[in-house]
Amino acid sequence: MYRYTGAVERTPRSEIRELLKVARSTNVISFGGGLPDKSLFPIEDLKQITADLLTNRGFLALQYGATEGDPDFIGAIVNHSKSFGETVAPENICVVSSSQQGIDLLTHILVEHDDVVIVEYPTYLGVIQAFQRAGANMIGVKMDNEGIMPDELEKAIASAPKKPKFIYIIPDFQNPTGINMSLERRKKIIEIGKKHDIPIVEDSPYREMNFTGKNLPSLWSLSGGTGIITFKTMSKMLFPGMRLGWVVAEKEVVQNMVKIKQSVDLCTSSFNQLIIAQYMNSGKLHDTINKAIELYKGKKELMVSELAKNMPEGVSWTNPDGGMFLWMTLPQGYSSKDLFMISAQKGAIFVTGNAFHCDGKGINTLRLNYSFPTHQQIKDGIKILGDSVKELLKK
């Protein structure tokens, strides 16, 4: 009766969503999702702001708004960017219902069936899902500890069946590896993009979660604001529940996104934008970010030291300077799916690495989230994981 579209056929189910279901239904310790620590949610502040907003500007908050975004929220974004050393003009901003919508709009404005797009290998699984849905031909380019590798990128561009539509990267504390792209590498990737006239899409949800205190400039800043589309979100530095994010791009790109967004949801929630604008303008976002940095840095350090105590020889992991994840590699020939079956039964879960590879490979890798579990859960869960890996390697 229902004759579904090719998009439904092409879109795989998100492994993370499936895993989160397991996490919710049992008492397992989850290193799976990319969730912030709930103790950081500023509930009391939000209660006050919301009451104030409804009393004084309820007529605005409950109304439709501009597709580009509410001017107050855009103003708060401009100031937020400035405080992180970034210059962004209001006409370069399109507010979106979180960065996943930005990714969707990107596919609508740039990706036609069978178009080539370049992604990091591994990359964010939500982007793999969106690009598959759009019918893109994804080419994965390997990374080293400085980010996507320039030589490999050049090779991928040269051997692609069509000129790639864009290069999608996550330069800041990448999901899933935690790798932070070096300054030299940022410049090199911009140079390659410009040389081949291929735009770069910079997805940057974790930029603010920097444990070193030293931010590197975004590709948007380094490029002088041309040939780069940047996605930002409130989901990681604050909370994901209001679904607020923004795109930074050249005016022409913003206008095309706005045109498509009109047909998708008319506008992002005015209510949510005004609440968060007020929160940002109060200066409290910086306090929350600083608390998150301190909390996540401690959790990451705990996880790394527990891994060192509990993992057998032959297993390696990254030690990120920011973000929410670290990336573990099992010896060749071992499967993180088999590991998942053992450790889920013992009470700890994670996301298997194949979900982050655009060709479904990388099965001996896995992603561990440290922002969501408590300190005790990190201790207990890594012990479970260590025992599970030992059991797997004996087989």
Binding site for ligand PLP (CB under 6 A): 34, 98-100, 124, 126, 170, 175, 203, 205, 233, 235, 240, 245
> Residue 366 and residue 352: Cα distance in Å, rounded?
5
For ligand PLP, the closer CB: 99 or 180:
99
Per DSSP, which regions of the chain are E strands? 29-30, 93-96, 116-121, 137-144, 147-148, 167-169, 200-203, 228-233, 245-248, 316-317, 325-329, 348-349, 351-352, 365-369
For ligand PLP, the closer CB: 234 or 392:
234
- How far is the first Cα of the chain from the last one, in angstroms, to the nearest whole number? 48
For ligand PLP, the closer CB: 367 or 379:
367
Residue 88 three-state SS: coil
In the structure encoding, which two tokens stand for residue 300, read together? 């990451």
> Residue 183 and residue 173: Cα distance in Å, rounded?
13
Minimum CB separation from ligand PLP for residue 204, in Å?
A: 8
Minimum CB separation from ligand PLP for residue 36, in Å?
A: 10
Minimum CB separation from ligand PLP for residue 355, in Å?
A: 12
For ligand PLP, the closer CB: 244 or 385:
244
Minimum CB separation from ligand PLP for residue 312, in Å?
A: 30
For ligand PLP, the closer CB: 203 or 306:
203
For ligand PLP, the closer CB: 19 or 389:
19
Give ∠ CA 289-295-296 in degrees, rounded to 5: 85
Label the pairing between strands 93-96 and 245-248: antiparallel
Minimum CB separation from ligand PLP for residue 232, in Å?
A: 8
Q: Which residues contact 88 (CB under 8 A, 6 or more apart)?
A: 77, 78, 81, 82, 220, 248
Minimum CB separation from ligand PLP for residue 240, in Å?
A: 5
